[in-house]
A and B are shown apart, each in its own frame.
Chain A
Amino acid sequence: MFVLKRLGSALPTLFAVSLLVFLFVDLIPGDPAQILAGPTASNEEIESIRKFLGLNEPLLTRYGQFLRGIWDPSAATSFRTHRPVVVELSERLPNTLIVSIGGLALGLVVGTIAGIVCAMRPGGLADAAITVLTLAGISMPIYWLGLLCIWLFAVNLGWLPAAGASTPAHFVLPILVIATRPAAMFSRLVATSLLETMGKDYLDTARAKGLSETRVVLFHALRNSLIAAVSVAGVQFGGMLGGSVVTETVFGIPGVGRLLVDAVSRADYPVIQYAILMFAFFFVVINLVTDLLTQWLDPRTRDQERAI
């Protein structure tokens, strides 16, 4: 029931998102064909660009054409390379996913451990150190940290390659750098929600059984805290995808983010549209999945669903 309801709310969102992305070209002030063609273009040139973009067709036809481009390679081609947009995107997607998922996973693990350490000894030395590091992690511009890491590990020490995506070693630095933010967010989240859980009676019930403090925290408290954390992980993953725009530029990784930046600076509208649509689609689906996962992980809500 909840699944259906949640799907029911995701579908209109997806529709609105696709409509917004589709209308993107129409939102550009002035005539996009004119802008693309440049100030010196002749009327014929502008007309041919209008035709290429399909701007002369009625709106509904164009929207249908736009949706068809999602699966039909011939329906949408890049303005600059004249290759199908779908192909351009799918070639680069794996690189983006490797960095995003790798960074998120590393960030989650490090952040959760740091959060537990903070919550076990609030006010201790480790807590203070982690709190400072967390603030630094949130405040650090990823692109600057990336540059510093390239300088230290690639240029000075020569341990890792500076740019590209040809070997697994190329992904180490980007993943390390991109993991700082989710790690910082998660250590805060886990620490706060653990401290909140720490006052609960059921932990005293567990302690009275004679369980060790480690087991009480890891088995009883953390389990409850992590349910709340799952939904944040979803939002973080979306953030990582968005962050790929910057990371891929810093580390010269041929991914979707880099493609989008290039497309924006070259006004390659079809690529911009489909790249944004893809990011948004991922984001909506991830939020959907984490919502369902949170629901399922908590037996209380899981049963409500069954009961309805």
Chain B
Amino acid sequence: MSIMPNVLSAPERAAPVDAFAPQSRWLLLRRILSQPKGVVGLTLVTLYLLLAIFGPMLAPQDAFRQNFAQTLRPPSAAHWFGTDQLGRDVFSRVLVGARATLGIGVGGVAVAFLVGVPLGVLAAWRRGWIEAAVMRAIDVMLSFPDIVFALAVVAILGANMQNVIIAVGIVAIPVFARTARAVTLSILAEPYIEGSIALGANPVRVILRHVLPNISGTLLTLSTLLFASTLLSASGLGFLGLGTQPPFPEWGTMLGESRSYIRSHPYLATFPGLFLAVSALAFNLLGDALRTIYDPTSRRVARRPPILSLLRRRPPPGEAQQQSAEKATDLAVSVRGLRIAYRTGEGLLEVVRGVDLAIRPGRTLAVVGESGSGKSTLLRAVGTLVNPQEVAITAGAIRIGGEQALGLGPAALRDLRRRKVGIVFQDAASALNPVLTIGNQLAEAVTAGSRLDSETVRQRCIALLRDVNIADPERRLDMYPHQFSGGMKQRIVIAIALAQNPEVLLADEPTSALDVTIQQQILVLLTEIQKKRGMAILLVTHDLNLVARFADDVAVMYAGRLVESGDVASVLERPLHPYTQALRASAPGGSEGRGRHLRTIAGEPPLIGRLPSGCSFRPRCQRSANRAECASSEPGLRAVAGRDVACVFAEEATR
């Protein structure tokens, strides 16, 4: 019945300008028809509109002719939907009533649109008192439940079709005005619009040329959704006997008349109600389809649960069994031949393409690479935290503390995570639940998998906070994350990660969100804890200076593969792979000292799924220089000068 709730979820923001908006009408049509709900919705809406136009002509009998010899007949060959209390043919009345019913909906939305949109655009454009007045008026109007407001309008103006249109139209004005204002405001803030205003462009022209085309998608969506609820509101008034007056047929009015006969002649209510419900459904479906097109945030990701999701239960194929068991158990982390792919609309997109890693207890391995190289996905996979609905592990093996981590059931997986893995994220602010106290979140980590009395838990939490050098831990337990500084939050995240004494700590750019002095403190803290507890650390970063200072081993990742790995001293002192060399040359404050020009890496990072043939670094590589070997096949890792490197010409760098 009510208009507001349906629209609450409608986009109040404009889509990033033109990034998603269809360029032409035909494209829009194609996009609608590419969604099942769009096909059904658009087909039904078209049928209904045809019905509204041609319905009265198609009616087989006179919809107004009364026949007291044949009242309240059930459906038959002569009267498909039966006859009503005055002996009129219900089928004909439904067909004739389509025009009034849908007409009221169209009229109501038109009234709301023509008044609301200019008001909203004006408010956003002029700001100041106009905006204040419009917003206040909207507030007042929204203080009335909408159907009550419509009732009041009808009570003032009198019950007839025209006044119902005005009533439901007025009720929907605030929704249009508010949305138009919000969307216009966000578009006016776009740099190119601000630019043309600053250049003195005619304001009316700016609105017509830039603002209206950009908000049209949102308004189209809103109009379609509002049409459905306006239709229901208007027919509700008809149902109450306050809409179209007899003898003119309208579906809501017909339903209202059928109420008295629901006991004896239920089919009287069946057909008008069915037509009404399906029409509302049709417009809602179409509106939903439009929303998916114009509001990218409403698009749901992770929609495919293909057979591949079963892989997470089954050990992936091609597991590297050749790795000897005892050797694997010595390692804190062992990754063999790991391949990870994102599930996308176009199928699987490989982001990690066969990676081997090994970390011994007490050591730190840094994985280095550009953004998009797959390093964070790799880290999450090692932490068993990839979402199987979005990401598929297609091949390889992961062992943590000697235990197989892939293909476990939910309970075993939880147990493994709890005992062996701690994780620290880049952004401590988002790694802590904003609505729970620190004590709460710590206690959860402490008590997982065991039963402890509350005092023990509290003492353990306090001890953990002490371990990460937080002063006055007793008092901190009752505080919420937002009450801490960034560095403090990261310490708390580390404390949570340490709660179960993990064998491996995964750190995804743990310091890049912090300022330099705090970075140092956090890293020193991590190293101290590592020394004390002897755990392994897998550090993902793009900062080579950090690697040089804190890691023992380094693995350089490019386009989902390791291109060079070995101990930090040899790899960073004398990088052999051209990509590692380029990375080092582009890092500030490197070992060569000051006064050196920083170099950028030529070319663009590769697009996943569109890698070049042969070596994926080939297009950006100066060493390759159109050599046939580089284009023919992707080089594998091989041992050269005390590290593994994936370059056919690695030896050239040793000279």
A binding-site residues for B, Cβ under 8 Å: 9, 12-14, 16-17, 20, 24, 27-29, 121-124, 135-136, 138-144, 147-148, 150-151, 155, 162, 181-182, 185, 188-189, 192, 195, 198, 200-202, 204-213, 220, 223-224, 227, 232, 235-236, 238-239, 241-243, 245-246, 249-250, 260-261, 263-265, 267, 272, 276, 279-280, 283-284, 287, 297-300, 303
In order of increasing CB-CB distance, the 10 nearest A-B pairs are: A210-B418, A242-B145, A144-B273, A239-B2, A139-B280, A139-B281, A299-B480, A209-B445, A123-B303, A201-B431
Stretch of B73-81, B232-240, B456-464, B574-582 contacting A (4+ beta carbons < 8 Å): B232-240
Q: How distant is the Cα of A28 from the Cα of B497 in the complex, in angstroms?
A: 69
Instruction: List chain A residues, Cβ under 8 A from B1.
Output: 141-142, 181, 239, 242-243, 246
Q: How distant is the Cα of A17 from the Cα of B387 in the complex, in angstroms?
A: 51
Whole-angstrom distance from the CB of A154 to the nearest CB of chain B?
A: 8
Instruction: List chain B residues, Cβ under 8 A from A198.
Output: 387
Residue among A27, A209, A245 making CB contact with B448, cutoff 8 Å: A209
Instruction: List chain B residues, Cβ under 8 A from A265.
Output: 159, 240-242
Stretch of B113-121, B420-428, B563-571, B620-628 contacting A (4+ beta carbons < 8 Å): B420-428
Whole-angstrom distance from the CB of B274 to the nearest CB of chain A?
A: 8
Residue among A28, A136, A250, A303 making CB contact with B259, cutoff 8 Å: A250
B residues contacting the other copy or chain, number (CB 8 A): 93
Q: Are B147 and A243 in contact (CB under 8 A)?
A: yes
Q: Are A200 and B281 in contact (CB under 8 A)?
A: no
Q: Are A243 and B2 in contact (CB under 8 A)?
A: yes
Residue among A148, A211, A263, A284 making CB contact with B269, cutoff 8 Å: A148
Q: Are B410 and A213 in contact (CB under 8 A)?
A: yes
Residue among B144, B441, B448 making CB contact with A210, cutoff 8 Å: B448
Whole-angstrom distance from the CB of B253 to the nearest CB of chain A?
A: 11
Whole-angstrom distance from the CB of A196 to the nearest CB of chain B?
A: 8
Known contacts A205-B432, A210-B449, A224-B435; decide if A261 and B240 are in contact (CB<8 Å): yes
Q: How distant is the Cα of A13 from the Cα of B142 in the complex, in angstroms?
A: 10
Instruction: List chain A residues, Cβ under 8 A from B387.
Output: 198
Q: Are A17 and B242 in contact (CB under 8 A)?
A: no
Q: Are B385 and A148 in contact (CB under 8 A)?
A: no
Whole-angstrom distance from the CB of B275 to the nearest CB of chain A?
A: 10
Known contacts A139-B277, A235-B5, A239-B5; decide if A13 and B148 are in contact (CB<8 Å): no
Known contacts A122-B302, A250-B259; decide if A148 and B273 are in contact (CB<8 Å): yes
Residue among B144, B298, B497 making CB contact with A276, cutoff 8 Å: B144
Which partner residue on chain B sits nearest A196 by CB separation?
A: B297
Residue among B4, B255, B280, B483 making CB contact with A147, cutoff 8 Å: B255
| Chain B 142-165 interface mask (CB, 8 Å, partner A; 1/0) | 011111100110111101000000
- Residues of B4-58 contacting chain A, CB below 8 A: 4-6, 8-9, 37
Which of A188, A207, A227, A284 counts the most chain B CB atoms within 10 A? A207
Whole-angstrom distance from the CB of A252 to the nearest CB of chain B?
A: 10
CB<8 Å pairs between A and B, sample of 21: A13-B140, A17-B140, A20-B140, A27-B156, A29-B157, A122-B300, A123-B303, A123-B304, A135-B285, A138-B6, A141-B239, A141-B273, A202-B430, A204-B385, A209-B418, A209-B500, A210-B414, A224-B435, A245-B236, A276-B144, A299-B434
Q: Are B277 and A210 in contact (CB under 8 A)?
A: no
| Chain B 431-456 interface mask (CB, 8 Å, partner A; 1/0) | 11111100001001100110000000
Q: How distant is the Cα of A224 from the Cα of B559 in the complex, in angstroms?
A: 36
The yes or no answer to B288 lying at the interface (CB within 8 A) is yes
Interface SS majority for chain B: helix
The yes or no answer to B341 lying at the interface (CB within 8 A) is no
Which partner residue on chain A sits nearest B266 by CB separation?
A: A151
Instruction: List chain B residues, Cβ under 8 A from A29.
Output: 156-157
Whole-angstrom distance from the CB of A244 to the nearest CB of chain B?
A: 9
The yes or no answer to B466 lying at the interface (CB within 8 A) is no
Q: Are B432 and A202 in contact (CB under 8 A)?
A: yes
Q: Are B288 and A300 in contact (CB under 8 A)?
A: no
Q: Are B145 and A241 in contact (CB under 8 A)?
A: yes
Q: Are B430 and A201 in contact (CB under 8 A)?
A: yes
Q: Are B5 and A206 in contact (CB under 8 A)?
A: no
Which of A238, A283, A284, A300 counts the most chain B CB atoms within 10 A? A238
Which of B228, B255, B278 counts the most chain A CB atoms within 10 A? B255
Residue among B148, B276, B302, B425 making CB contact with A141, cutoff 8 Å: B276
Which partner residue on chain B sits nearest A272 by CB separation?
A: B155
Q: Are B4 and A151 in contact (CB under 8 A)?
A: no
Q: Are B239 and A143 in contact (CB under 8 A)?
A: yes
Q: How distant is the Cα of A188 from the Cα of B154 in the complex, in angstroms?
A: 33
The yes or no answer to B263 lying at the interface (CB within 8 A) is yes
The yes or no answer to B419 lying at the interface (CB within 8 A) is yes
The yes or no answer to B643 lying at the interface (CB within 8 A) is no
Whole-angstrom distance from the CB of A248 to the nearest CB of chain B?
A: 10
Instruction: List chain B residues, Cβ under 8 A from A136.
Output: 277, 281
The yes or no answer to B139 lying at the interface (CB within 8 A) is yes
Q: How distant is the Cα of A195 from the Cα of B299 in the complex, in angstroms?
A: 11
Q: How distant is the Cα of A282 from the Cα of B607 in the complex, in angstroms?
A: 57
Instruction: List chain B residues, Cβ under 8 A from A16.
Output: 136, 140
Q: Are B236 and A204 in contact (CB under 8 A)?
A: no
Instruction: List chain B residues, Cβ under 8 A from A224.
Output: 433-435
Instruction: List chain A residues, Cβ under 8 A from B378.
Output: none
The yes or no answer to B415 lying at the interface (CB within 8 A) is yes
Which partner residue on chain B sits nearest A269 by CB separation?
A: B155
Q: Are A303 and B483 in contact (CB under 8 A)?
A: yes
The yes or no answer to B496 lying at the interface (CB within 8 A) is yes
Instruction: List chain A residues, Cβ under 8 A from B423.
Output: 204-205, 208
Known contacts A204-B425, A239-B4, A245-B240; decide if A211 and B414 are in contact (CB<8 Å): yes
Instruction: List chain A residues, Cβ under 8 A from B278.
Output: 139
Q: Are B147 and A232 in contact (CB under 8 A)?
A: no
The yes or no answer to B493 lying at the interface (CB within 8 A) is yes
The yes or no answer to B230 lying at the interface (CB within 8 A) is no
Q: Are A249 and B239 in contact (CB under 8 A)?
A: yes
Q: Are B281 and A205 in contact (CB under 8 A)?
A: no
Residue among A135, A206, A227, A264 making CB contact with B288, cutoff 8 Å: A135
